[in-house]
């Protein structure tokens, strides 16, 4: 099922290391993101007074196709950058995937010790239960 714009990112995703993303559209260019550890619990962010990694703001730029999650406060520059791939070449099954990268301002060296909070940066694939629901909706009469 082809999706366009921010809809490519919306949904529930899981990585090989069991980290999870839940992405909900807020506006055409903004989403709310929950980042969960393998136990299903939010990551506690020490650089943000222990705030849990839920309801983080993400910005989608349709022109450049970028989707950036603010891991800190907006504008602070600690970003989870997600790239959407329909058939990710490094996935053994070539599934739809979100490919993550972390970025920060160069001067914020103290954040180096926080990268481990977000686990290994495995790609995320759409959860199977959600794929079945989306496929059923697309096949339903009147869709």
Residue 108: its pLDDT value, please?
75
The reported pTM is: 0.83
Region class of 136: left (phi > 0), else alpha (psi between -120 and 50), else beta:
alpha
pLDDT tens for each residue of 97-129: 999 998 887 777 777 777 777 878 899 999 876
Quote the CA–CA distance of 96 and 137 in Å, as a whole number.
Answer: 18
Task: Supply the range of the domain harboring residue 119.
Answer: 5-139
Quote the CA–CA distance of 142 and 80 in Å, as a whole number.
Answer: 37
Alpha-carbon dihedral 109, 112, 117, 120, rounded to 10 degrees: 150
Structurally, how many domains does the chain consist of? 1
Residue 109: its pLDDT value, please?
74
């Amino acid at each position: 099922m082809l999706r366009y714009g921010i809809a490519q990112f919306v949904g529930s995703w899981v990585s090989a290391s069991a980290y999870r993303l839940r992405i909900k559209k807020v506006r055409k260019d903004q989403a709310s993101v929950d980042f969960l550890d393998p136990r299903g619990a939010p990551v506690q962010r020490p650089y943000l007074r222990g705030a849990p990694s839920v309801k983080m703001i993400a910005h989608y730029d349709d022109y450049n196709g970028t989707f950036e999650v603010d891991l800190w406060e907006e504008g602070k520059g600690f970003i989870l950058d997600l790239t959407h791939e329909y058939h990710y070449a490094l996935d053994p099954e070539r599934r739809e995937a979100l490919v993550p990268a972390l970025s920060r301002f160069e001067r914020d060296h103290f954040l180096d010790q926080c990268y481990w909070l977000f686990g290994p940066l495995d790609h995320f694939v759409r959860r199977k239960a959600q794929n079945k629901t989306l496929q059923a909706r697309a096949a339903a009469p009147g869709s």
